[in-house]
Amino acid sequence: MLKWFYSYILLIGIFLQACSSDDNTPPIENFTLEEITINGKTNQEAFSNIDPQNLSVELKFSTAVDKSTVDGNIILKDKGNQQIKLSYTYGDNKTVTLKPVANLSSYSKYTLSIWPGLKSTAGVTLSTGKNYDISTTIDMTDKFPRIPDEDLLDLVQSQTFKYFWEFGHPVSGMARERTTSGDVVTTGGTGFGVMAMIVAAERGFVSKNDALSRIQKIVTFLDTKCTSYHGVFSHWVNGATGATQPFSQYDDGADLVETALLFQGLLTARQYFKANTTAETKLREDITRLWEAIEWTWFQRDGQNALYWHWSPNYGWQMNMKVSGWNEALIVYALAASSPTHPITAGVYKQGWTRNGAFTNGKSFYGYQLLLGEDNGGPLFFSHYSFLGINPKDMKDQYANYWTQNTNHTLINYNYCIANPKGYGGYSADCWGLTASDGDKGYSAHSPTNDRGVIAPTAALSSMPYTPEESMKALHFFYYKLGDKLWSDYGFIDAFNLSEQWYDNQQIAIDQGPIVVMIENYRTGLLWSLFMADQEIKDGLRKLGFQSPEL
């Protein structure tokens, strides 16, 4: 009995000792991340618009961190899964601050991973891992010294003009299609280049005599070397031989739209070089002979009330594309109506171009009424190409006020980029403009309904007459903020995609030309004044029902 009693007392003692031991041992604490702050923003799932030159991440944990476990368990990677080297500092032992050793890339995406392998000084692993998305903005430092806006416009015009002057084809003088085109020159782009040469002569970038000589070289080549089809030239030409360079399988002959863009430039030159000298008289006569040789009515395709874009000596009308509005080709019908030798009637314009008025729109987008064309306006070159020479100021007909049309089209494009419904990097009031251009996924007619994240400088800069303040802000951004990526020997590169960190390495004639010309029309109206002073053009536009103070 006594033995049993001592055994009982012993068990009680052991039990009490065990209880006493449990009470004195602190419970194991969870090890958690309590707060993350990146550049002043705290506890977000994703951190955007982060300065790529100044990323600072502060992590606050629930208890002290084992520093030996930090380097392998707090990782920053770019979208290509490449690890970014980090430096670490510690405040109180619960706080870790990390920074990249080198600057991050602009408009790029990164992932910050905090893995459960991270431990506290007590050896407790992190309760749960976490990933955070980080998106950078751009390095907002100026890449070039600030200069007055008038000097900046001079610089942009003169540098962009070099594409047509220094890079013009040595044999023909015509504009190469793009900076990688070799002997392939472009008919429409050459027309833009001729207008750019007039600007250059007027502003003193080159002498007027030198501009005259270069344009005469082009006209002589067209007259004596180039194959034409009922007076119409092909889209692409071999700049050394004048032979047609097929644009596609069936597009190996006449291109009526490209030819109209060419003659918009040549007729402007005919007005500019008006002196009664042998050289200027010859240029005017040669341009007139080529102009009068264009058989516009033949492109009605057997008398239809419409003009057709293409004709091939091998495939006939296989392309089967009517020139029908609203797009960049108003100039085609304007010139066809103005022809002194083969003019179309107003009925061809009404049925072929306006489709008896069916090209009207009337709906509003972002608060601006679009009078003509597709919803949201389409690519911005619709408001540029035909209006390098045709002055839309105070011009109207039964369908539209063309200044309102072009201005609202531009503002819709601008406001779409500000809204940025697809969330592309960089789109803003400073970085906007969707039009046909190169892109990281190839050439495309970019627009609000075909938005691939690609901005083309020509879109905003060639819109300078319509949106001077918005376009100047874009110019400042392109030149001062992105100039290290965009600016080159021939002006701005064709396009870029900040979401993909893609920057073109080429220029294209049909995008460079409107920059020079439309900035000049904004500044002085020079090309508008010259083209609209042509009496044949006045008569043709009036025939089609247009009204303007210049008509």
130 and 227 belong to one structural domain: no
255 and 369 belong to one structural domain: yes
Whether 24 maps to a domain, the answer reads no
89 and 188 belong to one structural domain: no
* Long-range CB contacts for residues 139-143, cutoff 8 Å, separation at least 24: 139/51, 139/52, 139/53, 139/103, 139/106, 139/481, 140/51, 140/481, 142/480, 142/481, 143/479, 143/480, 143/481, 143/482, 143/483, 143/484, 143/487
CATH of the domain at 132: 2.60.40.1220
Count H helices, E strands: the chain?
15, 25
Q: Residue 284, SS3? A: helix
195 and 262 belong to one structural domain: yes
442 and 476 belong to one structural domain: yes
C-alpha radius of gyration, the chain, whole number: 33
66 and 209 belong to one structural domain: no
236 and 129 belong to one structural domain: no
397 and 433 belong to one structural domain: yes
Q: What is the DSSP letter of 141?
A: S
Whether 193 maps to a domain, the answer reads yes
Write down which residue in 136, 167, 186 finishes a domain. Answer: 136
The H or E element containing residue 185 is strand 184-186
421 and 525 belong to one structural domain: yes
Whether 176 maps to a domain, the answer reads yes
Q: How far apart are CA 54 and CA 47, in angstroms?
A: 14
The predicted pLDDT at position 398 comes to 97
Whether 19 maps to a domain, the answer reads no
The predicted pLDDT at position 1 comes to 42
Whether 20 maps to a domain, the answer reads no
Whether 208 maps to a domain, the answer reads yes
Residues of the domain holding 119: 33-136
Pairing of strands 46-50, 130-136: parallel
439 and 510 belong to one structural domain: yes
User: Quick one: which of 288, 312, 302 has its CA closest to 348?
Assistant: 302
Whether 311 maps to a domain, the answer reads no
Whether 100 maps to a domain, the answer reads yes
Along the 551 residues of the chain, how does pLDDT read in single tens digits?
Answer: 434 433 444 344 434 444 444 455 555 679 999 999 999 999 998 898 898 989 999 999 999 999 999 999 999 999 889 999 999 999 888 999 999 999 998 878 899 999 999 999 999 999 999 999 998 988 889 999 999 999 999 999 999 999 999 999 999 999 999 999 999 999 999 999 999 999 999 999 999 999 999 999 999 999 999 999 999 999 999 999 999 999 999 999 999 999 999 999 999 999 999 999 999 999 999 999 999 999 999 999 999 999 999 999 999 999 999 999 999 999 999 999 999 999 999 999 999 999 999 999 999 999 999 999 999 999 999 999 999 999 999 999 999 999 999 999 999 999 999 999 999 989 999 999 999 999 999 999 999 999 999 999 999 999 999 999 999 999 999 999 999 999 999 999 999 999 888 999 999 999 999 999 999 999 999 999 999 999 999 999 999 999 999 99
Please count the residues of the chain.
551
Report the phi/psi class of residue 29: left, alpha or beta, with left for phi > 0 and alpha for psi in -120 to 50. Answer: beta
Angle formed at CA 246 by CA 240 and CA 252, multiple of 5 degrees: 115
85 and 162 belong to one structural domain: no
Domain count, the chain: 2
CATH of the domain at 210: 1.50.10.140
3-state helix, strand, coil in the chain (%, to 5): 40, 20, 45
421 and 521 belong to one structural domain: yes
